Structure 1
Amino acid sequence: MRLTPAQINTIKSTATAVLGEGAQVTLFGSRVHDDKKGGDVDLYVEMDQPELMKKIRCKVSLQDQLDMPVDLIVKPYGDRSPIAMIAKQEGILL
């Protein structure tokens, strides 16, 4: 995984602060692979009731703190969309 422990802590603490205690964050995409370079941070978050404004606040805060682009997908628990399935199968729960 191409994130430092400090970056992981920032992601988890920001998601909890902005989206709530129950938010589950999964890293997926190119940053999961040590052999790849560059790329944004792709995060899939499951929570009880996703709210657009909270998602926007979380994304902006993460981009500011990490100083890199963040793609943030927020869905309700149990979502079975294609992106949810990919994130859950290929990603790493933070």
Structure 2
Amino acid sequence: MRLTHSQQEAIRSSVNSVIGAESRIWLFGSRVDDHKQGGDIDLLIETDRVLPNRVASLCQLEGKLIMRLGDRKIDILIKDAQTPEAPVHRTAKTQGVPL
């Protein structure tokens, strides 16, 4: 996994403060492969709660992550209790790495 310990902690603490401490986080995409270089940070955030406004939560989380990690490309998928599971969610969980 090509994230430093401090980057992982920044992601976990940001997700916990915006989405909730019970959230499950997966890193997927090119950052999982230690042999690649560059690439954006692809995250799947899953919660059993219903988020009142997923778009607002997504914007708040992305802003927090940019403040903590710097201005970089971050792709975030949020799956709450009302979001039907899509193939991209299954792929992120099977090919990704839990944080």
Given the two structures, how large is their TM-score scaled by the length of structure 1?
A: 0.92
User: Could you tell me how far 1:63 is from its partner in structure 2?
Assistant: 1.9
Q: Percent identity between the aligned chains? A: 34
Deviates more, 1:56-65 or 1:77-86: 77-86
Matches within 5 A, 1:12-51: 12-47=12-47, 48-50=49-51, 51=54
Structure 2: gaps of 5 or more residues: none
Deviations 1:31-78 (A, max 9, x none): 000011111100000012232211110012112211121100001258
Q: Detail structure 1 runs of 4+ shifted over 4 Å in the superposition.
A: none
Task: Kindly report the root-mean-square deviation, in angstroms, between the aligned alpha carbons of the 2 structures.
Answer: 1.4
Q: In structure 1, the residue corresponding to 2:18 is in which secondary structure?
A: helix
Task: Name the structure 1 match of 2:87.
Answer: 82
Q: Amino acid of the residue matched to residue 69 of structure 2? A: L
User: Could you tell me how far 1:81 is from its partner in structure 2?
Assistant: 0.6
User: Could you tell me how far 1:79 is from its partner in structure 2?
Assistant: 4.6
Say how many residue pairs are matched. Answer: 94
Task: Name the structure 1 match of 2:56.
Answer: 53
